[in-house]
Amino acid sequence: MMGRCNGCAAWGSLVEENVGGGAAAGRESRALDAAGDPGTRGKALPLHAIPAASAPRIETGVAELDRVLGGGVVPGSVVLLGGEPGVGKSTLALQLAGRVRQGGGAVLYVTGEESVEQVRLRAGRLPEVPGDVLVLSETRIEALAAPWREVAPQLVVLDSIQTLHTDRVESAPGSVAQVRESAALLANTAKAAGTALVLIGHVTKEGVLAGPRVLEHLVDVVLTLEGERSHAYRLLRATKNRFGSTQEVGVFTMEEAGLAGVANPSELFLSERSAATPGSCIVPIVEGTRPMLIEIQALVAPAGYGTARRTAIGIDDGRVALMLAVLDRHTSVDLVSRDVYVNVTGGVRIAEPAADLALALALASSRLDLALPQDAAACGEVGLGGEVRRVGRVDLRVREAARLGFRRILAPAGAEAPHGAEVVRVASVADAVDWLRRNASPQARQSGSNPP
Ligand code: TYD
Ligand code: MG
């Protein structure tokens, strides 16, 4: 018994692990008996003798999911689908199961978390899920061997890996040892049987979990479903993909009938934008290879007593502090003793420095009470000297802004003007603030004008 870890000093973080028996046995025995003998195992082959398996894919028919997977699910591959509770993992997995079933493949949906009735209830809301998707309520992995053999499924979904346990390890379900051993057993089974396997894993806000993180090395694809539960929109990212790029991002909205793909995310994010108001700036961000227009809002107000408050949602606090310091030092915008609130609309999280310029403009716009013109957007990284630096894929960003009707795009040097729009080159934050003063929307406070 040891309460505290000698290594990291964390309390209660030690997990008992049984290193005898199953875990110590070879890889071969760590698969369930669900398939015949794979002939080539254990034999070394010259590269040219290995058949060039252009991984066949099961197209899921969920366009946004196929995009992230790189064209579909590869048979025999293991996909880990992680995300916070309630974000929509079970819904997405069930929709995927439904599509594969529609395509003619047998599907086994194993639920360890919810009852079969609950799964049925959810399936009732999803029009693409046919009635003959097989659902099994089970948490013991060894019990899956028989149905797996009988059904010979093209796809098996396990919801969730944290609820499963194998007899080979004695620790509790959800513990690191259990999750790791269970997943290894299942992954080997899937490989041997040529079944595509989707493991659902919960991730907590801090990203810690006895689950996904410890599994990343033994699965082929790691997908993360992100989004605020209070907002409809969800982002699906691949953080690891042995069969495709990790640059693609899928965008969904959570609807009455499950997750619906969004082909034009910018339009979605701009749809709720109000008329020109001070403190708002549009930035074209890039997620993977997709440009999206996002609104950054800032509110600068006189501080009450004590220290000024700084609150940022959807963007790093450090980034906000940096922009405040830069504005203070390199422009005439006075931000001393002001409360500052920053919000990124739509529940999006911006992690790109390319949003710096838009953030600085939103802050200046609120402080000066000058609204940016409705047809203006901005992107660019801002350095500590107040200089505006180049950003990656600037042409992609500028084109997307132009496509959605933005006619003036503030950007660092290097951006080419797209058809029908003008690129306003700004070398520094001071330039950008000057531009704002000269071009501020005259009816700053009046609403009713149409967004671009
Ligand atoms: P769920 O897939 O159960 O999340 P997870 O498995 O990640 O914990 O879905 C969670 C939320 O999605 C739930 O609050 C209800 C909502 N939802 C919809 O809005 N529409 C739907 O069609 C479905 C099935 C769920
Ligand atoms: Mg669930």
Whether the predicted pLDDT of 53 surpasses 70: no
Which of the residue ranges 24-28, 254-258, 353-357, 367-371 would you say has the lowest mean pLDDT? Answer: 24-28
User: How many angstroms is it from 147 CA to the middle of ligand 1?
Assistant: 27
> Which H or E run contains 382?
strand 381-382
Q: What is the pLDDT of residues 125-152, one digit of tens each?
A: 999 999 999 999 999 999 999 999 999 9
C-alpha angle 252/256/262, rounded to 5°? 20
pLDDT-derived band at 202, boundaries 50, 70, 90: confident
Q: Which of the 8 DSSP states describes residue 406?
A: -
Average pLDDT, the chain: 86
User: How many angstroms is it from 215 CA to the middle of ligand 1?
Assistant: 24
**Range among 355-364, 395-404, 415-424 rated most confident:** 355-364
Ligand 1 atom closest to Cα of residue 225: 7
Ligand 1 atom closest to Cα of residue 94: 2
Is any atom of ligand 1 closer than 6 Å to the C-beta of 257?
yes
Please name which of 281, 296, 295, 277 lies closest in space to residue 447, comparing C-alpha atoms. 277
Whether the predicted pLDDT of 339 surpasses 70: yes
Is any atom of ligand 1 closer than 6 Å to the C-beta of 125?
yes
User: How many angstroms is it from 327 CA to the middle of ligand 1?
Assistant: 42
DSSP, collapsed to helix, strand or coil, labels residue 328 as helix
Alpha helix (H) residue ranges in 103-243: 116-125, 145-151, 176-193, 212-215
Give pLDDT, residue 252. Answer: 92
pLDDT-derived band at 212, boundaries 50, 70, 90: low
> Which H or E run contains 93?
helix 89-102
Give pLDDT, residue 48. Answer: 84
Whether the predicted pLDDT of 109 surpasses 50: yes
Give pLDDT, residue 451. Answer: 41
DSSP, collapsed to helix, strand or coil, labels residue 188 as helix
Which of the residue ranges 174-178, 281-285, 355-359 would you say has the lowest mean pLDDT? Answer: 174-178
pLDDT-derived band at 39, boundaries 50, 70, 90: low
Ligand nearest to the CA of 85: 1
Give pLDDT, residue 211. Answer: 54
Say which residue, 34 or 440, is predicted with more confidence: 440
User: How many angstroms is it from 53 CA to the middle of ligand 1?
Assistant: 37
Whether the predicted pLDDT of 261 surpasses 70: yes
Ligand 1 atom closest to Cα of residue 122: 24
Whether the predicted pLDDT of 280 surpasses 80: yes
Ligand nearest to the CA of 252: 1
Whether the predicted pLDDT of 313 surpasses 50: yes
Which of the residue ranges 45-59, 369-383, 423-437 would you say has the lowest mean pLDDT? Answer: 45-59
Give pLDDT, residue 19. Answer: 58
Give pLDDT, residue 450. Answer: 40
In angstroms, the first-to-last Cα distance of the chain is 65
pLDDT-derived band at 289, boundaries 50, 70, 90: confident
Percentage, residues of the chain above pLDDT 90:
54
Let me know: does 417 contact 251? Beta carbons within 8 Å.
Answer: no
For the purposes of burial, counting CB atoms within 10 Å of the CB of 127, is it exposed (0-12), middle (13-18) or buried (19 or more)? exposed
Domains within the chain, CATH numbers bracketed: 56-262 (3.40.50.300), 268-447 (3.30.230.10)
Give pLDDT, residue 24. Answer: 44
User: How many angstroms is it from 270 CA to the middle of ligand 1?
Assistant: 24
Ligand 1, atom 9: nearest CA belongs to which residue? 88
DSSP, collapsed to helix, strand or coil, labels residue 73 as strand
How many residues are given for the chain?
A: 452
